[in-house]
Amino acid sequence: MNTPSSFPEFKSIETSGTYIVKVSTPKEDKIEKHYKKNAKGFASARIYFTTGDNKTGSVYLNTEWGKSLAIFVGKFSGTFAKDPSPQMSVEQLIKYVSPAWGQRAEVELEVTPSGEYQGKPQFKYKFKKITRLDGQQSTYKSSEPSQQDSQEPSKPSAPEFDAPF
């Protein structure tokens, strides 16, 4: 018997524009599906994001093109993300991307149609600009003392950067 879902229906982001998005934290049973080695042998990730009005999209990033991955993680997490090694394992990639999970930013998206899948239109997303929202606490866990513990002045959020990916 089909029962109605308690979750709202998500729809694809279909038009270019500026959105406030949140990077989705993958469910435990979906990590292996979205984080894996690609055909060329590079660790890759399908990263999903949602807007406040139930629109969703995803980007495919991998360690072959590490700079794009570093910009994405750094901009969403508010921390510097060193370019990942092309030889990074899938487990290392999961740990590398995890600081961006659950984080929100204002993004300028370029949206282009990308065919159909199972009768539904598909879209490609290109981040033109990512501006992390101020006042967020990062979910990144560091072994160093927090700024609040050390009484150091807070660091400014990451500067705006045009991200060509």
Burial 97-128 (b: 16+ CB within 10 A, else e): bbbbbebbbebbbebeeeeeeeeeeebebebe
Q: Does residue 5 belong to any structural domain of this protein?
A: no
Predicted confidence (pLDDT) per residue in 88-146, tens digit: 999 999 999 999 999 999 999 999 999 999 999 999 999 999 999 965 544 333 333 33
The pLDDT score that the predictor gives to residue 4 is: 54
pTM of this prediction? 0.74
Count of structural domains, the chain: 1
Q: Does residue 116 belong to any structural domain of this protein?
A: yes
Q: Does residue 145 belong to any structural domain of this protein?
A: no
Q: Are strands 11-12 and 55-62 parallel, antiparallel or unpaired?
A: parallel
Q: Does residue 102 belong to any structural domain of this protein?
A: yes
**Cβ(68)–Cβ(126) below 8 Å:** no
Predicted confidence (pLDDT) per residue in 48-87, tens digit: 999 989 999 999 999 999 999 999 999 999 999 999 999 9
Q: Does residue 152 belong to any structural domain of this protein?
A: no
Q: Does residue 87 belong to any structural domain of this protein?
A: yes
Nearest Cα to Cα of residue 21 among 139, 107, 140: 107
